[in-house]
Amino acid sequence: MDSHSSSRHPLWLNPARTPDERARAATAAMDEAQKLSWMSGPMAIPVGCEAKPEGAIGSAGYFPAMPALGIPAQQQSDASLGIGNLENVRPGDTATALPSSLMLGASFDPDLARETGRIVGAEGHAKGFNVVLGGGANLLREPRGGRIFEYVSEDPLLTGRIVGGSIAGIQSQHVVSTIKHYAINPEETGRVMVSSDIGEAALRESDLLAFEMAIEIGKPGAIMPGYNLVNGEWASENRFLLSEVLRRDWGYQGWVMSDWGATHSTVKAVLAGLDVQSGANIDPAPYFGAPLAEAVATGRVPAARLDQSMYRQLRSLFAVGAVDYPAMPGGAIDYAAHKRIAQRAAEGGIVLLRNEGALLPLGQGPQHILLVGAHADQGVLSGGGSSCVTPEGSLKMDGASFAGLSLEKVYHPSSPLKAIAAVAPRAVVTYDDGRDLDRVLPLAAKADTVIIFAELWRSEGEDVQGLSLPDGQEALITRIAAHNPRVIVVLETGGPVLMLWRESVPAILHAFYAGSGGGEAIAALLFGHVSPSGRLPFTIPLSEEDLPRSAQIDPQTVVSNPGQPVDRPVVHRDYGIEGADIGYRWFSRIKRPVAYPFGHGLSYTRFAHSDFALDRKTLTVSLCVTNTGRVPGAEVVQIYALREDEPAFQPRLVGFGKIMLKAGASGLVTVPLEPRLLARVEGASWRRPSGTYRFEIRRDALTPILGESISLPEWEQSLRHETPVD
């Protein structure tokens, strides 16, 4: 065949051929040893007395090149918040740190996610990486989750669209992105031995729907199952997830790579659908190495399964151009331009939670501004773990230890103190760490305005214990508030915290983990250079007692580190309690008030909404939004659906859009609604019963602005995609 007509110009190196044709031809040219070399790979850093693998740049994973075939090595790096440098394996190499994914969720802006994804892809490519381990798409079922800053929201639609945008941005740079951690992996404590138990319909309507939508939009080349078990089976060898849902129903064509140290078997895993054992040198056995060769030789695994794994990997690499535009270390990176984009993303995500008496924005009035806490003189906090990025000049402190690695607590070098001093040139701006109340209270009393930076460090490997601000910060806030009426709290908490102190201060900004331009973004919002337009991507509860599972897993009773023997029975967590009613839907179901609802966020301007129209055929909403205030600003239009004849159907976000408007300007917003969110999973279908549906524009998940009720006919769609999701 023409594929091998010339060894110098094989078909698979011809960009005019489709990724399918190329992947098939290249697979056919590979021998078994080559195939096995891409089914099991080590961490690409020194582990114990093993050196970094030869040929590896140094990062999370490495699979060797096949020079005779013209196929480059796979150099895999974390992650969605920027290119990481695990254990400083590439000495001194730094990168742009994006705002955390949760902050991107707060932007409600998939275009922004695409733009920030593009930066990750571009920096990855310029550093020599062709696979980026991004795309965190788990839903926030557990607000105390250690890793929620790497995820987007408690809502499937918002998560699907933001993650999809981010993946598309990464892959536009000839770099494959993963989507992870498939699926329903909300807790870090005990993550390698906790089973997420839930019924199939509820799972498909929630966490799986988020993945499904993100895959449809972003077409990630690879997917990474979580460390956890789902309904009693490890995600990485879960036939339901990997074969039935992913392949049979969605027609997904990319490859399944295990998380690092998350492979548990050979025959079972490979037949369930796992294509690659990642981080193989931290697993207790080389499952996809010699044992897999043996299983093929003895007929327990068909040889065609190796071809399938190769085909999936190669197809994804060809599809993004990773072979035609090979990544090489040493490429040019415009860090200054990327920092500006990181700042813009942070500005789009900061949420103004409270602004009594219009204290914000601060004008040039204050003469003396005191900043307190969270190293606000130096930078902004980052989340910890494999996603942590260290831009040049980061402040590093001892964090925690996990999987034999020490995790640093990192502050990105974007100092709020310097940024505020720059935008308030006439004010004296000072800093106190807030650790000594006797020292800080008199300073606070003397200042015109006090900005308290409150922090909560979250990290991969363990959840935070409780949702209260630690280390006396709640008392710090209320005591300072008693000495000065002009107190602003800036939260750098990576997610929700309890805020029983909230009414003691006039203004609160949620600044998540804000990344390389975080300090500048906070200053821009505080001083009104940008009007806040972020909206909460989660609910802030009044009490942990109101959560579906108020009790947390006790870290002393479980194992959380991958690669460590699990010598005790699996812990089962019942996510069937809330089922698909996560976050705001849960609070609506149990009728409990909250501190701040999902979707909440104030602005420095005001918006009016009119001309609401709903096209029943296409399920598209259009409306006119007018900026009736005095400054430019962006409005997030949130459309929720309710069923008047089924009270058990909690309000659901079915569409959203964001529009930037100058003062006095109007614009038309058109929002397609997601039909699956109006339906339930019944058997092998999505089914929307006929009935009266109400569509409401809401200011947040709880506050209607206007709406319309219409009757819709029955609608049904198979769970199986007619065209593969790629």
* Distance, C-alpha 196 to centroid of its chain: 19
Backbone angles phi, psi at 497, to 5 degrees: -135, 160
Per the structure block, which two tokens stand in for 24? 């098939």
Nearest distance in Å: CB 227, ligand BGC: 7
Distance CA 496, CA 612 (A): 33
Q: Which residue has the tokens 């035609």?
A: 324
| Residue (187 or 259) nearer to ligand BGC, CB | 259
Q: Cβ of residue 181: shortest distance to ligand BGC, in angstroms?
A: 6
Q: Which of 100, 130, 189, 386 binds ligand BGC (CB under 6 A)?
A: 386
Among 123, 187, 259, 474, binds ligand BGC (CB under 6 A): 259
* Alpha carbons 693 and 643: distance in angstroms, whole number: 5
Peptide bond into 724 cis (omega under 30): no
| Minimum separation from the CB atom of position 301 to ligand BGC (A) | 25
Binding mask 43-62 for ligand BGC (x = CB under 6 A): -----------------x--
Q: How far apart are CA 2 and CA 12, in angstroms?
A: 10
CA 510, CA 690: separation in Å to the nearest integer? 41
Q: Which is nearer to ligand BGC, 180 or 535 (CB)?
A: 180
Shortest distance in whole angstroms from residue 138 CB to ligand BGC: 11
133 binds ligand BGC (CB under 6 A): yes
Site for ligand BGC in 60-99 (CB under 6 A): 60, 78-79
CB of residue 223 vs ligand BGC: minimum separation in angstroms? 12
Q: Phi and psi dihedrals of 353, rounded to 5?
A: -85, -35
- For ligand BGC, give the closer residue by CB, 259 or 283: 259
Output 43 or 476, the one with its CB closest to ligand BGC.
43
What does DSSP say about strands 715-718 and 449-455: parallel, antiparallel, or unpaired? Answer: unpaired
d(CA 404, CA 564): 10
Total chain residues near ligand BGC (CB under 6 A): 8
- 211 is a site residue for ligand BGC (CB under 6 A): no
DSSP of 668-695, one letter per residue? Answer: EEEEE--GGGG-EEETTEEEE-SEEEEE
Nearer to ligand BGC, 313 or 386 (CB): 386
Report in angstroms how near the CB of residue 587 gets to ligand BGC at its nearest. 29
- Which residue has 């319309």 as its token pair? 708
Q: Judged by CB, which is closer to ligand BGC: 224, or 602? A: 224
Q: Which lies closer to ligand BGC via its Cβ, residue 133 or residue 580?
A: 133
The burial class, CB within 10 Å (0-12 / 13-18 / 19+), for 250 is buried
Q: Are residues 373 and 393 in contact, defined by beta-carbon separation less than 8 angstroms?
A: no
Residue among 108 and 151 whose Cβ is closer to ligand BGC: 151
* Sole residue written with tokens 């309690």: 577
Site for ligand BGC contains 351 (CB under 6 A): no
- Alpha carbons within 13 angstroms on the beta-carbon side of residue 1 total 10
Which residue from 129, 182, 250, 260 is in contact with ligand BGC, where contact means CB under 6 A? 260
Shortest distance, CB of residue 276 to ligand BGC, whole angstroms?
13
Q: Among residues 60 and 362, whose Cβ is nearest to ligand BGC?
A: 60
* Binds ligand BGC by CB under 6 A, chosen from 161, 180, 338, 486: 180
With b for 16 or more beta-carbon neighbours within 10 A and e for fewer, the 205-241 pattern comes to: bbbbbbbbbbbbbbbbbbbbbbbbbbbebbbbbbebb
The answer to whether the CB of 145 falls within 8 A of the CB of 194 is no
Contact 154, 597 (CB under 8 A): no
Instruction: Report in angstroms how near the CB of residue 495 gets to ligand BGC at its nearest.
Output: 17
Q: Which is closer to ligand BGC, CB of 372 or CB of 403?
A: 403
The site for ligand BGC (CB under 6 A) is made up of 60, 78-79, 133, 180, 259-260, 386
